[in-house]
Amino acid sequence: MSGLGGLNKTPGGIVVSVVQSQLFDVATSADLKHAVDHVVALVKRTKHAYPATDMVIFPEYCIHGLSMRMDDEIMCTLDGPEVAAFKEVCKDEGVWGCFSIMEKNPLGNPWNSGIVINASGELVNYYRKMHPWIPVEPWYPGNRGISVFEGPGGVKMSLIICHDGMFPEMAREAAYQGAEVLLRTAGYTPPIKQSWELTNRTNAFTNLMYTVSVALAGTDGTFKSMGEAMFCNPEGDVLEHGNNSPDEAFACEIRAEEVRRRRRHWGVENNLYQFGHRGYVAVQGGASDCPYTYMKDLVAGKWKTSEDDEVVVKDGTSCGYEPPRKEFIDELGAF
């Protein structure tokens, strides 16, 4: 049930709208301002088109485009004019908003960051992309982990960005922390269309959560983004599916009780619980050990797949970037 594509909202539900915003070529501060103004206008338009909307979500790169430029002139900060404009429109429209910025980073290359602002214009969630789409993307890997926040109506949400969703561990971590809705924003292009749907649906079902996903749409003259907005329910069914039209909005009613009911009452396929309670029919409470070598090795800093020595692409030189010379610094929440 989608509430007729978000036109209706029932008690206990919230309406989430996603906007397949136009892909821009952003090279200057003037270009950046134009893109910000465009997104602000789309917030207003979406709230007018779907008055029941509690939250509006924009794709990754919604104000920076896909050029991967790192010029300081167009990088953002949390206290800069771009974020201020987003806060103002959310407060004025009385709606939550999820936006994308490329963020200045004193440690090196910029971060690819996502922010969530509530209907009072306050920043309530701030996430740095954990898995840049390498070797194409030059962004510094996120160092704030995955967070869960209370969204509109007290619904627990988590935000990941684009390529993050290709790693099942990301969705599982969000669900483990209590997320009932996984937001996924992206700048993906058409070749990823099939993998996009596959992972959105799988992340939903394997964690008994909603997934709400949206990518940029249109072309900047060089790149073309795919749109493909998508809402999936906790059983992995697609409730609403977008197209490839730029600036088109899609909406859906989200009912957190559908997540809570399954996680509390299901036996068969209650995989989020059963992952840490293996074989509870045979052994009291189920086995709660960690039998996974990859988890143990990652924690120990010894990650090495059986093909590691044969992997060819290990830096960004194939995409025109210089080999990196900086070590990763994990300063959780330092900036």
Active-site positions read 60, 129, 162
Instruction: Provide φ and ψ at 281, rounded to 5°.
Output: -70, -35
Cβ(256)–Cβ(156) below 8 Å:
yes
**DSSP collapsed to 3 states, 48-116:** HHCCCEEEEECCCCCCCCCCCCCCHHHCECCCCHHHHHHHHHHHHHCCEEEEEEEECCCCCCCEEEEEE
Measured CA to CA, the distance from residue 254 to residue 9 in angstroms comes to 9
d(CA 32, CA 73): 9
The full DSSP string for 153-176 is: GG-EEEEEEGGGGGSHHHHHHHHH
Alpha carbons 9 and 18: distance in angstroms, whole number: 16
Contact 205, 175 (CB under 8 A): no
Measured between alpha carbons, how far is 11 from 14 in angstroms, rounded to an integer?
A: 8
The DSSP-derived string for 201-264 is HHHHHHHT-EEEEEE-EEE-SS-EEE---EEE-TTS-EEEE--S-TTEEEEEEEEHHHHHHHHH
With vertex at residue 111, the alpha carbon angle to CA 107 and CA 112, rounded to the nearest 5 degrees, is 175
Residue type, 255: R
Cβ proximity of 56 and 45 under 8 Å: no
Asked if 76 and 83 count as a contact pair (C-beta separation under 8 A), the reply is yes
